[in-house]
Amino acid sequence: MEPKEFDKWAREAVEQREDRAQLEAGYADTLWKQVREHQPKTYVDFWRAAAIILLFLGAAMAWYSTGLHADQNALYAQLQQANRQLRELAIETTEAKAMEASPVLIPEKEIVLVHDTIVQEIVKERIVYIDQPVQTASPTINADSLIAIIEEQQAALEQLETYAQVDEPKAYMSSFNVVFDNQETQTTKATSPKKEGGLRLNVSLFNKK
Amino acid sequence: MYTEKTIRESIKGNARAQRKLFDAHSGKMLTVCKRYLKNAHDAEDAFIHGFNKVFQKLDTFEYRGKDSLAKWITTIMINECLMMLRKQLRMEKIEDIQSAEIAVRDTNPTDTDYIYALILNLPLGYRTVFNLHAIEGYSHKEIAHKMGISEGTSKSQLSKARQLLQSRLKDLKRDYGT
C-alpha cells in the first residue's frame, strides 16, 4: 500500500474507533470529579457553596438551640421559662387571645439581633403584647410580679450574652420605670427606656378596681 | 448532545453545562490520550489537565462548523500528551517491538482493531510521529517543532512506523487467517 494511502486508511480506522468510544458511567463520574478538583476556584459552583454555607449556619443555629454547652442550656431554659410565665399572664382574657391571633410586629429598627435563635424566641413571645394593653382579671397580678419576671429574663439574657461572647450589636432590657395610673382602671406599666441599639419592651396591665 | 447555549453556560462556569460537554467528548478524548501515552495513569493525567484547560480557554473557542469543538478539544489533549511525552520521550530500538504484546480481540477482529492495537504498541517515538502525521495531519515541520526533533528524524520515524505497522498487520492477518 502506498504510504499516503496507508495513512488515510489508518486515520479512518482510528477515527471510527475513537468516535464510538464511551466511558462507563462510574468511571466517567470518577474522572469528572478529578477534573472539578483541579479546576481553579473561579469555577466553584455558587449554589454548592451557598448550600454548604447554609448547612453550616443551620448546624451553628442547631448547636446553639440544642446547646452543646450545659451552662448555655440551663440559661436558655431559664429564659424560656420566664418567657412562658409572661405569656401566661397575658393570655387570661379574651382580649389577650384576640391579640394573640393578630400579633403586632415590632418595627425592624428596634430589633437588634445578638443571638438569632434566642432573640427571635424573645421577640416571638412578646409580639402579642408589646405596646398593647393586656387585661387580666387577676387582682394579684401587679407591676412587681411583672417586673420580677422581666428582670429575671434580663439577667438570663445578659448571662447568655457574656457566655456567648457576643459583640455589638447587643439587645438588652434595662431597668424599668413603673407608672401607676389612678384612673378607673389601674394601669400598671412597665416600660424599658429605649437605649441606642436596644430592644424596647412595653408591657401594660390593666387591672380593674 | 449539547447546544451552543451549553458552551456559553460552560464558559460562565456552570457545572451542569460543563458536565454535558465532558460527557459528550470524554470517551473519545481519553482514547486519544491513550493512543499517545499508552500508560493508563499518564493518559488519565493528561486527560484531566486537558479538560481543565478546555474549560479555562473555552471563551477563546471560535465555532467553525460541525465537529469544530471536538477538533479544538483534541488539539488541547494532544498538546497535554506531548508535554508529558517530552519528559519521557526516548527513541526505542526497533528490536524492542518484537517482544511487545499485541492486544487484539479474539472474536472476529477487524482491520480497525488490528491497526489500533498495533499503533498502541509502536515504540514511543514511532507512535508519536505516526499519530501526529498520519492521524492528526501535522506536517514534519510542525512535528519537529512540537517534539524538539529535526524534520529528518520525524520523516525517518514515520517511515519506520509505517513499515512496522504494515509488516505486523500482514503477520496478524496471516496468524488469524483473515
pLDDT digits (tens, 9 = 90+) for B21-45: 999 999 999 999 999 997 888 999 9
Chain B residues in contact with A23 (beta carbon < 8 A): 26-27, 30
pLDDT reported for residue A99: 41
Contact A31 B30 (CB under 8 A): yes
- CA angle (A87 as vertex; A85, A90 as ends), nearest 5: 115
The residue ranking higher by pLDDT, A130 or B143, is: B143
Reference B155, options B132, B122, B178, B121; nearest CA is B132
Q: Which residues of chain A have pLDDT under 70?
A: 40-52, 55-56, 58-209
**Chain B residues closer than 8 Å to A43 by CB:** 13, 15, 18, 55
- Dihedral of CA B59/B43/B156/B175: which sign? negative
Interface pTM, i.e. ipTM: 0.82
Q: What is the pLDDT of residue A165?
A: 43
What digits encode the pLDDT tens for the residues B157-175?
A: 999 999 999 888 887 777 7
> 3-state SS string over chain A?
CCHHHHHHHHHHHHHHHHHCCCCCHHHHHHHHHHHHHCCCHHHCCHHHHHHHHHHHHHHHHHHHHHCCCHHHHHHHHHHHHHHHHHHHHHCCCHHHHHHHHCCCCCCHHHCCCCCHHHHHHHHHHHCCCCCCEEEECCCCCCHHHHHHHHHHHHHHHHHHHHHHCCCCCCCCCCCCEEEEECCCEEEEEEECCCCCCCCCCEEEEEEEC
Q: Of the candidates B55, B116, B162, which has its C-beta nearest A39's C-beta?
A: B55
Q: Name the CA dihedral angle for A130, A134, A138, A140, rounded to a multiple of 10 degrees.
A: 40
For residue B91, the model assigns a pLDDT of 41
- Mutation target vs B (from A15, A18, A29, A36; most B CBs, 10 A cutoff): A18
pTM of the predicted structure, to 2 decimals? 0.52
| pLDDT score, position A200 | 40
Partner residue facing A22 (CB), from B27, B47, B159: B27
Grid cell of A56 as nine digits: 453550616
For chain B, the residues whose C-beta falls within 8 A of a C-beta of chain A are: 13, 15, 18-19, 22-23, 26-28, 30-32, 35, 44, 47-49, 51-52, 55-56, 111-113, 115-116, 119, 130, 133-135, 137, 159, 162, 165-166
Q: Is the Cα torsion angle A104, A108, A112, A115 positive or negative in sign?
A: positive
Q: How many CB atoms lie within 10 A of CB A56?
A: 10
Distance from the A82 Cα atom to the nearest Cα atom in chain B, whole angstroms = 50
How would residue B108 be classed by pLDDT, with cut points 50, 70 and 90?
Answer: very low
Q: Report the DSSP pairing between strands A185-191 and A177-181.
A: antiparallel
Per-residue model confidence (pLDDT) at position B30 = 94
What Cα–Cα distance (Å) separates residue B54 from each residue in A31, A114, A152, B61, B72?
15, 47, 64, 9, 9
Q: Which of A3, A21, A40 sits opposite B162 (nearest CB)?
A: A3
Which residue from B51, B116, B133 is facing A35, i.e. has the nearest CB? B51
A10/B135 CB distance under 8 A: yes
CA of A45, closest CA in chain B: separation in Å? 6
Percent of chain B past pLDDT 90, that is, above it, reads 45
| B contact test, residue of A1, A33, A35 with most B CBs within 10 A | A35
